[in-house]
């Protein structure tokens, strides 16, 4: 296999927008090509690399550990079986192009090289020793007291992710699949740093009518675009998804499974802006941060520079109170792309009829934004 510069290989095949809509479900099974690349040699940045073993199973293939033959540095190698259709193959190269474009930010996982043979693509990336943010969130006891040191770490991770996402947006890259499983951690002693990864459905288009993402992290306007049409602002949808991630970090639970009217927890949130505060131990300042990210109005949703200021100015993220939110449905940290049409991958039920009040007003506001007929 022959190594090559990512910019030269990927960006030459760059296409202006993502090839198609992509919807993920947390319960989707994983794809395994059945090929084991252990002991394979790759041409690394400085010398040959030897693939030493499997790190984990990704959404579209395995992730391996590789070590320099004449050195000590280790890397992660993500493998993807090549798609037979030219359309799907372009989609795979598109991921490399998106990732390479923002790879120089310290809180974006660096994509060093891309290799290919007749059947597979190989993405050579940094190896992070801290695992996924998902594991950090859910491996700990939900009711464990958060001390000042841990709170400082959470705040640091939040600021790093805000900065990384803002850098992506400044470079016209919109992630569209932010979630704890796509955020990797590195450790240096007691120091923890966060890195954005997996740009598989990223796009350079600021707006589109695509329905993309992993369902629990998709913004309400994406769900309503599926039903009523219209276009989504990808920057605003990324901020919403990051708001769900921050909520998980602070509550050790997802706030709801679906930002849609038939989800009881989401309906409760639309009726009560202090819903997260009342059912958890977050501070009023933290609640303000989360609700500004999870604003139903995309125009009013907080900008990333303003969000950074809010987090930096927060004195405390928690108060002394244990969470009473019911745990979310089981989440598999890696998801699989559905190859069928979007209409078959995401089942949207008609919004439930609700009593006159905040929820119905919110639903009418959404419908008005998309210039559709109101639900009576």
What angle (nearest 5°) sits at the alpha carbon of residue 118, between those of residues 114 and 124? Answer: 20
Stated as kind and residue range, the H or E segment containing 232 is: strand 232-233
204 and 247 inside one domain:
yes
154 and 279 inside one domain:
yes
182 and 75 inside one domain:
no
Does the pLDDT at position 301 exceed 90? yes
The residue among 98, 126, 154 that closes a domain is 126
Per the domain annotation, does 375 fall within a domain?
no
The residue among 126, 143, 169 that closes a domain is 126
Handedness of CA 196, 240, 139, 281 (dihedral sign): positive
Phi first, then psi: give them for residue 237, nearest 5 degrees. Answer: -70, -35
Can you say how many angstroms the Cα of residue 329 is from the centroid of all Cα atoms in its chain? 18
Give the residue from 53, 197, 173, 70 showing the smallest Cα distance to 123.
197
Convert the pLDDT of each residue in 177-195 to its tens digit: 999 999 999 999 889 999 9
On whether 8 is known to bind a ligand per the annotation, the reply is no
Convert the pLDDT of each residue in 195-252 to its tens digit: 999 998 899 999 988 888 899 999 999 988 766 667 889 999 999 999 999 999 999 9
Number of Cβ within 10 Å of residue 323's Cβ equals: 17
Task: State how beta strands 62-68 and 74-81 pair.
Answer: antiparallel
Stated as kind and residue range, the H or E segment containing 246 is: helix 234-251
**Global confidence as pTM:** 0.76
The residue among 82, 107, 126 that closes a domain is 126
**pLDDT confidence bin for 142, thresholds 50/70/90:** low
Radius of gyration of the chain (CA): 21
Per the domain annotation, does 96 fall within a domain?
yes
Per the domain annotation, does 333 fall within a domain?
yes
Residue-range definition of the domain harbouring residue 343: 133-369
Phi first, then psi: give them for residue 26, nearest 5 degrees. Answer: -60, -20
């Amino acid at each position: 296999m022959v190594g090559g510069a990512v910019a030269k290989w990927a960006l030459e095949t760059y296409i202006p927008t993502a090839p198609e809509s992509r919807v993920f479900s947390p319960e989707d099974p994983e794809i395994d090509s059945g090929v084991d690349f252990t002991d394979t040699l790759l041409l690394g940045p400085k010398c040959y690399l030897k693939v030493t073993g499997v790190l984990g199973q990704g959404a579209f293939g395995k992730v391996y550990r590789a070590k320099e033959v004449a050195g000590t540095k280790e890397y992660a190698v993500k493998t993807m079986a090549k798609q037979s259709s030219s359309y799907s193959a372009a989609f795979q190269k598109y991921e490399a192009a998106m990732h390479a474009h923002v790879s120089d930010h310290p809180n974006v996982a660096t994509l060093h090289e891309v290799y290919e043979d007749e059947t597979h693509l190989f993405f050579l990336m940094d190896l992070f020793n801290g695992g996924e943010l998902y594991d950090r969130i859910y491996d700990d006891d939900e009711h464990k007291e958060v001390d000042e040191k841990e709170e400082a770490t959470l705040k640091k991770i939040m600021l790093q992710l805000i900065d990384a996402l803002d850098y992506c947006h400044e470079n016209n890259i919109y992630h569209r699949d932010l979630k704890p499983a796509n955020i990797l951690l590195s450790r240096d002693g007691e120091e923890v740093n966060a890195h954005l990864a997996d740009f598989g459905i990223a796009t350079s288009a600021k707006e589109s009518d695509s329905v993309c993402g992993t369902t629990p992290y998709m913004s309400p306007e994406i769900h309503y675009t599926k039903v009523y049409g219209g276009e989504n602002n990808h920057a605003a949808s990324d901020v919403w998804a990051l708001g769900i991630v921050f909520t998980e970090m602070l509550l050790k639970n997802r706030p709801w499974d679906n930002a849609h009217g038939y989800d009881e927890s989401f309906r409760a949130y639309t009726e009560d802006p202090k819903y997260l505060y009342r059912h958890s131990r977050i501070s009023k300042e933290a609640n303000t941060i989360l609700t500004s990210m999870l604003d139903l109005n995309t125009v009013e949703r907080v900008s990333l520079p303003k969000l950074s200021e809010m987090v930096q100015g927060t004195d405390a993220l928690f108060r002394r109170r244990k969470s009473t939110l019911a745990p979310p449905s089981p989440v598999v940290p890696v998801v699989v792309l559905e190859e069928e049409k979007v209409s078959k991958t995401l089942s949207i039920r008609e919004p439930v009829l609700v009593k006159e009040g905040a929820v119905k007003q919110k639903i009418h506001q959404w419908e008005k934004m998309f210039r559709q007929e109101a639900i009576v």
